[in-house]
C-alpha cells in the first residue's frame, strides 16, 4: 500500500515537474502578467515539494497521507483560482475595490499551505520568525489603544491590519507571497538551480574534484585543498550551499578522512568551502543577479566587484588548511586518487556549458536565458555521452525539481516578512534605531548588522537571507554614508557565512552527516575556518577599491594588502608558523598586525 502511494506520488511529481520546466521555458519566450505567472510558479513549487516529500516518507501513515493529499488538492485549487481570477486581480485598485469571499478563502489557504511547507523544509527557525512578524502585523488590531501605551517602544508601534488587508497585501497584489522574493525565485533561482543540477548530471562536479586533486592532491593536506578548489568552482554554480556540500562532499569528505583528517575537520572544510562558493564569481549562487536587480546595475559590474574579495577569501582558506596540515602532520591525498592528466584532458569538453554561460552573460543577454542556454549545452553533452538510461533521466528530473522547490519555498515565504516590514515602516524605523543603538558610529552599526545577518540567515538559503538583509540593513548603512555597492556586499557576505554559523548552520549539518561526525564539533570547525572571511567585508566597506571602485593604482595596492593581510590573519587563526605552534599572546599580536596591513591603503589614501 505504501509503495503504491509512493509510486503514484512519483508519477505525479514527474508530470508536474515536467510541466513546471515547460512553464518556465514558456514565460521566458512569452512573459505573462505578474498576477498569473507568479502564482503559477508558486503553485508548482508547493505541489512538487509536497509530492517529493511524500516519496521520501519512510513511516507509513494513513493520516499523514490524507493530510498530504489535502494539501496538494488545496494547491491545485489555489492555482485554479488564480487562473480564473488573474485578470481581475491585475486590474483591480488596491485598497479601493472590494475583497471577495473567494479572495479571503483562497488567500488564507495559500498562506497556510506555504507556512506548512516552510515548516517541513526549514523547520521552526524560519517559521517562528514569520509567525512573529505576522503577529506584529495583526497585534495592533487586537489591542485597542495600542499606540497610546507609553511603554511600547517606538520601533514596534504599528496600528496593524485586518484580515482583509493582510490577504490583499499578501496574495492579491505583486507583493507578499507574490512579491519580489517569488519573482526572484521565478526569474533567477529556478534556472540556475536547474543548470547546477544538469551540470552535475553530466559530470561537471566530478571534473572539478579531479582538477582540484590534480592541482593540489600531492601537496601536504592535498585532500582538503582539493575540496576547497573543487567546492569553490561548484559552489559558484550551485544555488544552494547545502546542495553543493551534498554534491562534492560525497567524494571529498571520505577522501579527507582517508588522508588523516578528523571527521569534524573534514566536514568543516567542506562546509565552509561549499558555502564560500556563493561569494565566487561568475554566478555567486545567484545572489549576484539579485543584487544587480536591486541596484539596477549591470550584472558584469557585480561580478567584477566580487572577484578580489572572493579570491582573497579562498586564498586565506587554503592558507589555513595548509598550516593545519603542517601542524597536525596530515599527509597528501592517497596517490590512487590523483586525476590522470589524460583522463582530465579527455573531459575538458565539460567546461563548454560554463563557457556558454559566461559568453552569454557578458554579451548582455538576460540571466535566465543564459542559464537556459548553458543547461541546453549540458543536455547536448548528456545525449552524446550515451551512458544515461531512461531511469537516469527520470531521476535527474525528480531530483532537480525537488531541489528547486526546496530552495524556492523559504525564498517565497520571506515575502511575508518584507511586506509586514514595508507596511509598518519597520525598515525606516529600524534604520533610525540602529544608528542610535550603535552610538552613531559606523563600526558599531556594522557589528550589529553582522549579528542581524547571522541571526536572520539561520536556516535560510543564501538568496533568501540576502533579500531580508538588503531590506532591513542596507538602508541603515546608506543613512550612515556608505555607498550602495559596499553596503550590499557587506550584507551578502555575512548572510552567506550564516550557513556555517551555529546554532543553525545548514551547510555544517549536511557535512556532519556525510563525515559521520558530531554536529556541534563540525559546526565549530567550520566556524573557526570561516573566521578568515569574517574580516574581509570590513575592508571593502571602508575601502571600496577592493571592489574595483577607484584608480588602477589604488585597486592594485588594496588587493596586495588584502592578500597579505589575510595571509597573516590565517597564521593568527591557525596559530602555527615555521614548524612551531605559536603562543596565544603572539597570535593576538599577529592578528593585530594583519588588521593593520588590511587597512594600510586607507592610510595611503589619506597621505
Evaluate the omega torsion of the peptide bond into residue 208 and state whether it is cis, within 30 degrees of 0.
no
Residues 201 and 317 in one domain: yes
* Selection from 584, 586, 581 nearest residue 326 by Cα: 581
Report residue 576: phi and psi, to 5°. -145, 135
Q: With beta carbons less than 8 A apart as the criterion, state whether 469 and 502 touch.
A: no
Evaluate the omega torsion of the peptide bond into residue 503 and state whether it is cis, within 30 degrees of 0.
yes
Residues 437 and 565 in one domain: no
C-alpha cell at 168: 490583499
Spatial separation of the C-alpha atoms in residues 473 and 468, rounded to whole Å:
8
Query: How open is the CA angle 202-206-210, to the nearest 5 degrees?
Result: 140
Residues 436 and 580 in one domain: no
Which residues lie closer than 8 Å to 363 by C-beta, 6 or more apart? none
Burial 430-466 (b: 16+ CB within 10 A, else e): bbeebbeebeeeeeebbebbbebbbebbbbbbbbbbb
Q: What is the DSSP letter of 271?
A: H
Domain C-terminal end among 542, 560, 588: 542
Residues 248 and 110 in one domain: yes
Spatial separation of the C-alpha atoms in residues 536 and 83, rounded to whole Å:
48
pLDDT of residue 145: 47
The helix/strand/coil state of 334 is coil
Domain C-terminal end among 542, 561, 595: 542
The helix/strand/coil state of 153 is coil
Residues 240 and 192 in one domain: yes
Residues 452 and 587 in one domain: no
Residues 82 and 228 in one domain: yes
Which residues lie closer than 8 Å to 101 by C-beta, 6 or more apart? none
Domain C-terminal end among 522, 542, 562: 542
Spatial separation of the C-alpha atoms in residues 231 and 277, rounded to whole Å:
6
pLDDT of residue 127: 85
Spatial separation of the C-alpha atoms in residues 332 and 467, rounded to whole Å:
41
C-alpha cell at 67: 493530510
Residues 456 and 559 in one domain: no
Neighbour-count burial of 388, counting CB atoms closer than 10 A to its CB (0-12 exposed, 13-18 middle, 19+ buried): middle
In the predicted model, residues of the chain with pLDDT beneath 70 are 1-6, 55-64, 140-160, 217-218, 238-240, 285, 333-342, 426-440, 456-459, 503-504, 604-607
> How many other C-beta atoms can be found within 10 angstroms of the C-beta atom of residue 590?
18
Residues 467 and 567 in one domain: no
Spatial separation of the C-alpha atoms in residues 529 and 553, rounded to whole Å:
31
- Percent composition of the chain: helix, strand, coil (DSSP 3-state, to 5): 80, 0, 20
C-alpha cell at 420: 509586514
Number of domains in the chain: 2
Residues 106 and 151 in one domain: yes
The model carries a pTM of 0.79
Burial 92-108 (b: 16+ CB within 10 A, else e): beeeeeebeeebbebbe
The helix/strand/coil state of 66 is helix
pLDDT of residue 431: 62
Q: With beta carbons less than 8 A apart as the criterion, state whether 540 and 486 touch.
A: yes
Residues 208 and 247 in one domain: yes
Q: With beta carbons less than 8 A apart as the criterion, state whether 554 and 601 touch.
A: yes
C-alpha cell at 473: 540593513
Which residues lie closer than 8 Å to 250 by C-beta, 6 or more apart? 514
Report residue 580: phi and psi, to 5°. -145, 150
Residues 187 and 261 in one domain: yes
Domain of 307? Answer: 1-542
Amino acid at each position: 500500500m505504501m509503495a503504491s502511494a509512493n509510486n503514484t506520488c512519483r508519477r505525479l511529481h514527474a508530470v508536474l515537474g515536467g510541466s513546471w520546466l515547460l512553464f518556465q521555458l514558456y514565460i521566458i519566450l512569452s512573459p505573462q502578467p505578474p498576477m498569473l505567472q507568479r502564482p503559477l510558479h508558486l503553485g508548482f513549487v508547493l505541489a512538487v515539494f509536497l509530492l517529493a516529500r511524500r516519496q521520501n516518507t519512510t513511516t507509513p501513515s494513513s493520516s499523514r497521507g490524507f493530510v498530504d493529499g489535502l494539501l496538494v488538492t488545496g494547491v491545485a485549487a489555489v492555482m485554479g483560482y488564480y487562473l480564473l481570477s488573474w485578470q481581475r486581480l491585475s486590474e483591480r485598485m488596491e485598497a479601493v475595490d472590494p475583497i471577495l469571499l473567494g479572495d479571503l478563502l483562497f488567500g488564507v489557504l495559500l498562506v497556510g499551505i506555504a507556512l506548512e511547507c516552510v515548516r517541513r523544509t526549514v523547520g521552526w527557525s524560519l517559521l517562528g520568525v514569520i509567525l512573529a512578524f505576522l503577529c506584529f502585523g495583526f497585534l495592533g488590531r487586537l489591542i485597542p489603544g495600542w499606540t497610546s501605551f507609553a511603554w511600547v517602544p517606538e520601533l514596534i508601534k504599528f496600528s496593524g491590519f485586518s484580515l482583509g488587508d493582510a490577504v490583499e497585501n499578501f496574495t492579491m497584489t505583486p507583493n507578499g507571497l507574490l512579491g519580489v522574493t517569488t519573482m526572484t525565485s521565478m526569474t533567477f533561482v529556478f534556472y540556475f538551480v536547474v543548470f547546477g543540477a544538469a551540470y552535475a548530471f553530466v559530470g561537471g562536479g566530478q571534473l572539478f574534484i579531479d582538477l582540484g586533486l590534480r592541482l593540489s592532491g600531492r601537496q601536504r593536506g592535498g585532500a582538503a585543498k582539493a575540496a576547497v578548489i573543487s567546492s569553490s568552482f561548484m559552489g559558484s554554480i550551485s544555488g544552494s550551499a547545502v546542495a553543493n556540500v551534498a554534491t562534492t562532499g560525497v567524494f571529498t569528505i571520505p577522501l579527507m578522512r582517508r588522508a588523516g583528517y578528523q571527521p569534524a575537520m573534514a566536514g568543516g572544510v567542506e562546509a565552509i568551502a561549499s558555502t564560500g562558493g556563493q561569494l565566487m564569481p561568475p554566478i555567486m549562487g545567484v545572489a549576484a543577479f539579485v543584487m544587480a536587480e536591486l541596484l539596477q546595475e549591470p550584472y558584469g559590474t557585480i561580478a567584477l566587484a566580487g572577484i578580489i574579495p572572493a579570491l582573497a577569501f579562498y586564498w586565506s582558506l587554503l592558507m589555513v588548511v595548509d598550516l593545519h596540515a603542517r601542524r597536525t602532520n596530515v599527509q597528501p591525498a592517497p596517490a590512487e586518487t590523483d586525476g590522470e592528466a589524460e583522463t582530465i584532458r579527455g573531459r575538458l569538453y565539460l567546461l563548454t556549458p560554463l563557457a556558454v554561460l559566461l559568453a552569454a552573460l557578458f554579451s548582455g543577454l538576460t540571466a535566465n536565458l543564459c542559464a537556459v542556454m548553458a543547461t541546453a549545452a549540458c543536455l547536448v553533452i548528456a545525449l552524446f555521452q550515451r551512458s544515461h538510461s531512461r531511469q537516469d533521466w527520470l531521476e535527474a528530473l525528480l531530483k532537480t525539481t525537488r531541489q528547486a522547490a526546496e530552495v524556492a519555498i523559504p525564498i517565497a515565504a520571506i515575502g511575508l516578512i518584507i511586506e509586514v516590514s514595508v507596511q509598518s515602516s519597520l525598515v525606516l524605523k529600524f534604520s533610525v534605531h540602529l544608528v542610535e543603538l550603535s552610538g552613531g558610529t559606523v563600526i558599531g552599526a556594522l557589528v550589529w548588522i553582522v549579528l542581524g545577518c547571522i541571526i536572520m540567515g539561520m536556516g535560510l538559503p543564501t538568496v533568501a537571507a540576502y533579500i531580508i538583509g538588503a531590506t532591513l540593513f542596507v538602508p541603515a548603512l546608506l543613512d550612515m554614508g556608505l555607498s550602495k555597492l559596499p553596503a550590499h556586499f557587506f550584507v551578502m557576505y555575512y548572510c552567506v557565512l550564516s550557513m556555517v554559523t551555529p546554532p543553525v548552520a545548514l551547510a555544517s549539518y549536511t557535512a556532519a552527516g556525510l563525515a559521520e561526525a558530531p554536529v556541534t564539533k563540525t559546526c565549530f570547525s567550520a566556524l573557526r575556518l570561516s573566521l578568515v572571511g569574517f574580516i574581509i567585508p570590513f575592508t571593502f566597506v571602508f575601502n571600496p577599491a577592493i571592489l574595483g571602485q577607484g584608480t588602477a593604482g589604488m585597486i592594485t595596492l588594496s588587493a596586495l594588502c588584502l592578500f597579505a593581510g589575510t595571509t597573516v590573519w590565517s597564521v593568527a587563526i591557525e596559530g602555527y608558523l615555521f614548524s612551531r605552534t605559536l603562543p596565544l599572546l603572539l597570535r593576538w599580536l599577529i592578528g593585530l598586525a594583519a588588521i593593520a596591513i588590511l587597512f594600510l591603503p586607507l592610510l595611503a589614501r589619506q597621505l
